[in-house]
Amino acid sequence: MCGRFTNIMTWAEIHGLYSIHQSGPPASNMRPRYNIAPTQDVHFTHKGKSGELEIDYGRWWLVPFFAKELPKAAMFNARIETVDTSGAFREPFKSKRCLIPADGYFEWTTNAEDGKKDPWLLQLPEGKPFSFAGLWAYNDKLGSTSCTIITAPAVSHIAHIHTRMPLILDPASYDAWLHPDIQGKDAKSLLVDRQIDDQLVFHRVGREVNSSRYDGTDTKMPIVNSL
């Protein structure tokens, strides 16, 4: 699953990640975020009506277009196994696929000595930015823009931390993932080609991360002798 992630990229760096070329990035007071939790607002990228890439902002907890109220069931992750058939995710999978920028995410293991949760930070080498495969929705009744992250069984070298993981797309697949003409099995096959996941590295971090209210700059600092 993906229950927390980090994004300390600047507005210009997000534009660079998606090769959005403008005379200059729009003015933004975007701040680094070290412990993003479900229901918080996040940036995500999708194709607009003109076919150009757009950076949007919305709730990380999908609110389906047909919902009459904010969902109480967990909607911050969508499972790859049912993302194209589930009632809440089926339509977004067809027409509202997106990329959610990040530079790390957290998972937890249970400490054998005290039974408490130990957080781990998973990243690409050198903290290189990446994108989760996601879906987004707009609910005009509630005035809500929202998104969710697609998850899959974890690759072998991180499965001891958690059995599932968020899908990280290879940059070579960005355009195809966002392209409305790519549908059905062709779209889902983009999620199966996951060689970039094998590059993930990880280390333990402080338990302060366990609180969704904590957003200190030290959330990425490794615990010595954690491996």
User: Which residues carry out catalysis?
Assistant: 2, 107
Give the 3-state secondary structure of residue 20: coil
Residue whose structure tokens are 């210009």? 12
Amino acid at 122: L
* C-beta separation of 75 from 1 below 8 A: no
Distance in angstroms (rounded) separating the CA atoms of residues 178 and 53: 9
Q: In whole angstroms, how far apart are CA 30 and each of 12, 168, 204?
A: 10, 23, 27
Q: Which of 37, 67, 141, 54 is nearest to 97 (CA)?
A: 54
